[in-house]
Structure 1
C-alpha cells in the first residue's frame, strides 16, 4: 500500500492557515489591508483579550455583493488578480486570496456587508471553514468582520500564544504601521473597551505620526522630499540629537506597504554617518514611491520582504534624500542670552533676537555656562565690561595651595589636571549644580592648576570641567571616618596614609601610581564602573535613586513599551521609577544619582529594548545586564579630566577592595609593571 495520502480539505486548510494567521495581529493585518483595498477612509478595530476571544474590523469601503460573500471565503478567491500579467504590477496590499479562508479555518467568523447601491445588507456566518446561508440584515455601507475564539480548533497553535498584553501590543504595532503607511485613512483601535489609537486621516503624514508617537517624537523630525532616478522619497527622519539606542523606530514603506529593507536601512544610516554617535541609530518614517513593475512583493508569506529589480536607485534616492534633509533642517542651535534689564537701562535689549553669546564674551576668557540665562545679580553690561578688560590669556594670580606645592617655572610637558581649590560642598556636588552660571563671587577661588611629577603647579587659563561621577565617589563618607577634613585637605591626608604615590594620569584614561617596586596603571573608567556595579548589585540601586524635578516622558515602540511596563520592578532595582503614561510612553520619575539628567531617556530606551528581546532569559541575567548598563553610563569616561583628589580616592578604594580586578565587561581594571622589567627595557640590568 502506498504511503502518500491526499490530505483532507479541512486538514489542508489548517496547514495553510498557519502560514497566514500566526497570531491575532496577523489576522488584523490582513483584514485592515482588505479594508484599505476596498477604498475605506475609516477603519475601526476592536479586540478583547489580545484578540484571541474577539476581534472586529469595521470599514466604510465599497462592500460586497451577496453572491460574492460565500466565494470570498474560498481559498485563492480574490478580486485583485485575474491573470498572470497582473502579478507583474501589483498595486493592492492583498492579492493572494488566502486571508479570509485562513481566518475562517481557525475561528468562528461573522461577516456583515452592504454596497452603496444595495438597500439591505448581507450577514454570513462560517465556523471552521463550514459556512451557512446568507441572511438579510440592516447595516451601514461597508463591511464588518468579527472573528471569535481564534485557534479554538488548533490547540497546538493556541498554546504558543503569549500573554494578552503582549498580543494586544502586537495588534497595536500593526495598527501603528498601517496608520503611518496610509495617513489618508482614519484608524481607530479599541482594546478591551478602551480607545488607545485614533488617527485623524486626511492624508497628513505628520498628523499620523503625532497620533501614533506623540508630541515629543514628532518635534524631533525633519521632513524629507526627494526624487532621483524614478524613485521618490517622502516622509520624515529624526534630528541627529534625537537618535535612539536601537532601530525599532525605523519605518520604511514601499508604495503604501510596510517592508523590511536592508538596502534602505543602510542608506539611511550611511547618510547619518558622522552626525550621530557610534551605537546610536536614527528614526524615520520614509515612503518609497516607485513603479510597481520594478519590485516583486510576492516573495514572503507576510509580504514584509520585497525584491527590487535594481537596488542601487533605492539606495541613492534614500541616501541623497536624507542628506539633503539633514543639510536643510538640522542647522546648529545658537546659545543666546535672554536680556531683561530694567526699564530705561542703557543695556535695554534691541528689537529682534538677542545677540549670540560668542559676540558678548571673548572665547578665551568666557566662563563655561550650561544655560543661556545669566544670573539675576550680574547685569550683562557689567559682564561684558569685565570680559572686555581681560587680556586674551589669563593672568597668573596667587592661589591657596596645599602644603608642599610650589609654582612651576615653566609649563611641564605632561597632561593638565583640574583641581578645584576651596569650593563649597553644595557647589562642587553635581546634585546641587544649577543650570545657570555660578555668580562671580562664588567663582573667585576656582583656579585650575597644572600637575607634574614633582608636585609643582601653575595656573592654567582653561576652566575646569566638572566630573559628576567621581564627585559622587568623593562625597560618599568612609565608614571609619569620624570627622572628615575639608575637601582642600583630602589629597594631602590621603597621601600620608596610602602606601601608593600618585604620579599622574596618562591620556586622560590611565592613572599612574608608584607602589614600592611597582608601577600600577589603572583604567579609571573600568575601575569606577566596577565600583558602581558592585554597589547596585548589593542593593544600592534603589537607595541611590533621586526624584527628578520634572518627570521625563520616553516614547517607545509597542513591544518595548510592553516589556518596560512588565519589568517595572527590574527598573526599580536599577534605580529607575517608571509609570505607564499610555500610548506607548513611560514616565520616568526617578533615576540613579550618578546618571546625568540628559541621559535618562536614552538609558530607558536601551533598557526597554533589551528587556523586550530577552523575555526568555532568566530574571537574574536580565537584572545583571541592567546593572552593567547603569554602571557603564554613570562611570567617569576616558578623557574626562579628574583632580588628584578624585584619582587618589579611586586608588584608595581599589586598595580597600582587592576583588575589583575586572570591569563588568571582563576588561582588566589595572596592570602592574615591575621596576626590574622597566630597567631591563632601558638596559640598566641584564
Structure 2
C-alpha cells in the first residue's frame, strides 16, 4: 500500500488558502488589490464582527463579464501575466490568480459585477469553493465582493482568529496602508455600518499624508529624494521628536506596493541614526519606484516580501537620502554661516559638568559675538531659561536649545574625529587621582585596563583594589572617574570596545560624563561659542543618545497661543 498520496483538490485549495488568507485583514488586502488593478476611483469596505462574519468590498472599477466571473475563481486564472518572463515586469498589485479562489475555498462568497459597456450585470454565488449559482442582476458598473463566515469550513483555523476588536484593528491598518500610495482613490471603511475611516480623493500624496499623520506631524514632515537611473526614492519623514515606541507608523512602498521588509526598515533606522534612542521608531513613509526587472515580488504568496537585484545600492541610497534631509533640519531654522576657530578645550581639571571658556581665544569670542545681535537671518541669543535652555530669536520664531544635549553633541563629535585621526588630546594630571574599586571590578581593571589607553585613559595599578589615574582625555578632565570607569568594566570584562559600534557607545558615555549639566550658568559669549560649535557638527539636531537638542516655536504658533490669530 502506498504511503504517499496526491491530495484532493479541496484539501489542496484550503492549504493554498492558508498561505494567502491568514485573517480577515488578508481578505481585505487581496480585494483592495483587485479593485485598484480594476482602475477603481471609489472603494468602500464594509465589515461586521471584525470581518469574521462579513467583509464586503465594493468599487467602481472596470467590472467583469459573465465569462470572466466564471474564470476569476479558478486557481491561477489571471489577466495580469501570460508567461514566466512577465513575472519580471509586473506593474499591477495582483498577478498570481490565487486570491479569489483561496478566499472562496474558506468562505461563502458572492461576487456581483458589471462592465460599463454592458447593460446588465451578474451575481455569482459560491460556498467552500463550489459554484452555487450564476444569475443576471441589475447593478452599477464595477464589482462588489461579499465574503461571509470566513473559515466556516475550517473550525480549527477559525478558533485562532482574535477578538473582533483586534481583527478590526488589522483591517484599519490594511486600509490605511493601501490608501497612502493612491491619493486619487477615495477609500471608506465601515464597521457594523459605522464609518471608521474615510480618505477622500486628494490631489497628491502630501494631502493624504495629512489625513494619516494629523496636522502637527504632517506640517513638520521633511521630504527626502534620491533620483537615479531606473530608481526613484522619495520619503516623507517626521522629525525625530515625533518618535513612537513601535514601528507601526513606518510605511514602505515599492512600486506602490506596501511591503514589510526588514532590510528597508533597517535602512530607514540607519538613516535616522543616533537621532533616535534605542527602542524608538520614526514616523515615515518611503516610496521606491524601481524598474520591475530589478525587484522580485514573487517571493511570498502575500506579495509583501520582496528581493532587490542590487539590495546594497538600494540600502545605501535610502540611508543617504534620509541623512541629507535630516541634516538640514537645523539649518532650516538658522540659515546662516559661521566661521572662525572652534573652541579649544581647557587643560585644567574642571568640576563635573563645567564648561570653562577661559582659555578660548579672544578672537574666537569676538567672532562669536554677532550671534548676540540681531542681524537679519542670524539668531539672536536673548537669554537662558533656568540655566538649562538657551533661548534664541531666529528668523521664523523662537529657538530653544538644551545646553547639556548641545555640549554633549559637540564633545562626542570632537572625540570621534580625534580618535579617527589617531590624535586623542590628553591631559597628564599633575596630581594623579586615586581611585578605589570593589574586588571584582579591581581584578578586571588590573587585567584589561590597558585597553583604555587607546582612548587617552592611563591607569596604574597601585596595589590591591587601588588605582592611580595619571592621564585622561582633555575633554573629560572634569568627569566623575570612579562612576565612569565602573560603567565601562562590563565592556572590558566581555572584551568589547573593538568594533565601531562599541567604540561609538564608549564616546557617547564619555560625552555624557563630560558635558555641562543643566543648571550651569553660561555667559552670552559661552552660549555663542556653544551655538557656533553646534552648527559645525555633522548632526546638530540630536544628542548622541537621540534626545533632541532644540525645539522651535514659530511666530504663527506663538500668535495662536496668545489668540492673536484664529
Distance (whole Å) between structure 2 residues aligned to residue 372 and residue 200 of structure 1? 42
Question: For residue 480 of structure 2, what is the aligned residue in structure 1?
Answer: 507
TM-aligned CA deviation for residue 639 of structure 1: 8.0
Query: Aligned to 1:188, what secondary structure does the other structure show?
Result: strand
TM-score (norm 1): 0.50
Question: For residue 84 of structure 2, what is the aligned residue in structure 1?
Answer: 84
Distance (whole Å) between structure 1 residues aligned to residue 129 and residue 140 of structure 2? 26
Question: For residue 441 of structure 1, what is the aligned residue in structure 2?
Answer: none
TM-aligned CA deviation for residue 74 of structure 1: 0.9
Query: Aligned to 2:126, what secondary structure does the other structure show?
Result: strand
Distance (whole Å) between structure 2 residues aligned to residue 22 and residue 282 of structure 1? 28
Query: Aligned to 1:313, what secondary structure does the other structure show?
Result: helix
Query: Aligned to 1:248, what secondary structure does the other structure show?
Result: helix
Distance (whole Å) between structure 2 residues aligned to residue 62 and residue 294 of structure 1? 30
TM-aligned CA deviation for residue 95 of structure 1: 0.9
Change (3 A) 1:140 1:271: same
Question: For residue 189 of structure 1, what is the aligned residue in structure 2?
Answer: 189
Query: Aligned to 2:66, what secondary structure does the other structure show?
Result: coil
Contact 2:294 2:310 in 1 (8 A): yes
Question: For residue 606 of structure 1, what is the aligned residue in structure 2?
Answer: none
TM-aligned CA deviation for residue 296 of structure 1: 0.7
CA deviation map 1:143-171 (0-9, x unaligned): 00001111111101000000110000011
Contact 2:202 2:208 in 1 (8 A): no
CA deviation map 1:364-406 (0-9, x unaligned): xx863769699xxxxxxxxxxxxxxxxxxxxxxxxxxxxxxxx
Question: For residue 115 of structure 1, what is the aligned residue in structure 2?
Answer: 115
Question: For residue 176 of structure 1, what is the aligned residue in structure 2?
Answer: 176
Q: CA RMSD in A?
A: 3.4
Contact 1:238 1:282 in 2 (8 A): yes
Change (3 A) 1:642 1:89: closer
TM-aligned CA deviation for residue 317 of structure 1: 2.2
Question: For residue 154 of structure 2, what is the aligned residue in structure 1?
Answer: 154
Write the mapping of 1:69-148 to structure 2, written as runs, cut at 5 A.
Answer: 69-148=69-148
Distance (whole Å) between structure 2 residues aligned to residue 79 and residue 169 of structure 1? 32
Q: Which runs of 5+ in 1 are unaligned?
A: 335-350, 375-411, 415-504, 512-520, 524-636, 644-686
Query: Aligned to 1:113, what secondary structure does the other structure show?
Result: strand
Contact 1:63 1:141 in 2 (8 A): yes
Q: Which has the higher contact order (CA 8 A, sep 6+)?
A: 2
TM-aligned CA deviation for residue 353 of structure 1: 8.3
Q: Does 1:220 align with 2:217?
A: no
Distance (whole Å) between structure 2 residues aligned to residue 331 and residue 210 of structure 1? 24
Query: Aligned to 1:134, what secondary structure does the other structure show?
Result: strand
Query: Aligned to 2:331, what secondary structure does the other structure show?
Result: coil
Question: For residue 541 of structure 1, what is the aligned residue in structure 2?
Answer: none
Write the mapping of 1:601-620 to structure 2, written as runs, cut at 5 A.
Answer: none
Change (3 A) 1:640 1:107: farther
TM-aligned CA deviation for residue 125 of structure 1: 0.7
Q: Which runs of 5+ in 2 are unaligned?
A: 335-373, 394-430, 434-477, 488-512, 520-566
Distance (whole Å) between structure 2 residues aligned to residue 413 and residue 641 of structure 1? 25
Distance (whole Å) between structure 2 residues aligned to residue 123 and residue 352 of structure 1? 73
CA deviation map 1:492-528 (0-9, x unaligned): xxxxxxxxxxxxx9729959xxxxxxxxx999xxxxx
Query: Aligned to 1:35, what secondary structure does the other structure show?
Result: helix
Query: Aligned to 1:272, what secondary structure does the other structure show?
Result: helix
CA deviation map 1:611-641 (0-9, x unaligned): xxxxxxxxxxxxxxxxxxxxxxxxxx99896
Contact 1:508 1:639 in 2 (8 A): no
Structure with the larger strand share: 2
Question: For residue 282 of structure 2, what is the aligned residue in structure 1?
Answer: 282
TM-aligned CA deviation for residue 311 of structure 1: 1.1
Question: For residue 322 of structure 2, what is the aligned residue in structure 1?
Answer: 322
TM-aligned CA deviation for residue 329 of structure 1: 4.3
Contact 1:263 1:314 in 2 (8 A): no
CA deviation map 1:569-609 (0-9, x unaligned): xxxxxxxxxxxxxxxxxxxxxxxxxxxxxxxxxxxxxxxxx
Distance (whole Å) between structure 2 residues aligned to residue 68 and residue 103 of structure 1? 17
Q: How many residues align?
A: 377
Q: Does 1:8 align with 2:31?
A: no
Distance (whole Å) between structure 1 residues aligned to residue 230 and residue 195 of structure 2? 41
Distance (whole Å) between structure 2 residues aligned to residue 172 and residue 367 of structure 1? 45
Contact 1:220 1:242 in 2 (8 A): no
